[in-house]
Amino acid sequence: MGDYLVTGGCGFIGGHIVDRLISTGHNVTVIDDLSAPENETFHYNEKARYFKQDISKSDCSSLFQGIDCVFHLAARSRIQPTIGNPSECFEVNVIGTQRVLEWCRTYSVKKVIYSGTSSLYGHQNIIPFTPAMPPDCLNPYSMSKWMGEQVCKLYYQLYGIESIVLRYFNVFGPREPIKGVYAPVIGLFKRQVKSGMPMTIVGDGSQRRDFTYIDDVVDANMSALVADIRFGIYNVGTGKNYSINEIADMVGKEKVYMRERPAEVKETLANINLTLQDLGWSPSTDISKIIDQY
């Protein structure tokens, strides 16, 4: 049995990680400020301890005492809103991450598992993306998440805090965010179809994304937890991508098209060879087999 802390543990990915940790007999503490605008509801597990705190402003230090590993997911996590409010994005995603790592240093937390993003690969890198590629950040969100990675690296090099960075590729599944126009695309499509509305597709819908099922993402986090790795950066994707038009066809029929958004990439695709090699993780779920099952 371990003692684990999950920042952002009431959200989509964080909530599923909390559930997995609880189901395997661990003690879990959650920090979440309940501010994510795309979440219609926030998830709670009755066996976890919850604290409504903002990692960028609140003094959360005492909650790190006796913790074995921190799963750090708390962040401003949608691309378009951060373009309009970059200051808050950097405050939470960079300063908040530094504060989490400093609390880990204060209380000798052994390991941090940092939830990163594939959006930092940008335009200049050729698919499939590998972790060794240079960042090409196109917006405040991807830049701030990359800077968070660098803070993790610094705290490993200076203070020996082990960190594993997991760069997620378009996570989907049960309890995915569905609220607002910037909700992740599958949740948005499902909400629109359920409401009898056409699915809104940005641009011409030819842009392609590597979609990763939530259970596979949780599995990756569990693999990182037990991995004998002091510091590493790993892709969490499937190595297969689909166009947004193809995704829409899996969900419904009626579509409408809207103008392209700034600062978004045309295509993402993960190379997961290093993840398989070092973490022993590979995905087990294909979106075409599961998208209509939840």
Tokens 């959006």: give the residue: 119
Interatomic CA distance for residues 233 and 235, integer angstroms: 7
Interatomic CA distance for residues 140 and 152, integer angstroms: 18
Residue 240: burial class (beta carbons within 10 Å; 0-12, 13-18, 19+): middle
Interatomic CA distance for residues 80 and 167, integer angstroms: 19
Active site residues: 141
- Residues 217 and 175: beta-carbon distance below 8 Å: no
Extract the tokens encoding 184.
């992740």
Pairing of strands 49-51, 69-72: unpaired
Residue 35: burial class (beta carbons within 10 Å; 0-12, 13-18, 19+): middle
Q: Among candidates 174, 165, 172, 282, which has minimal Cα distance to 219?
A: 282
Interatomic CA distance for residues 231 and 229, integer angstroms: 6
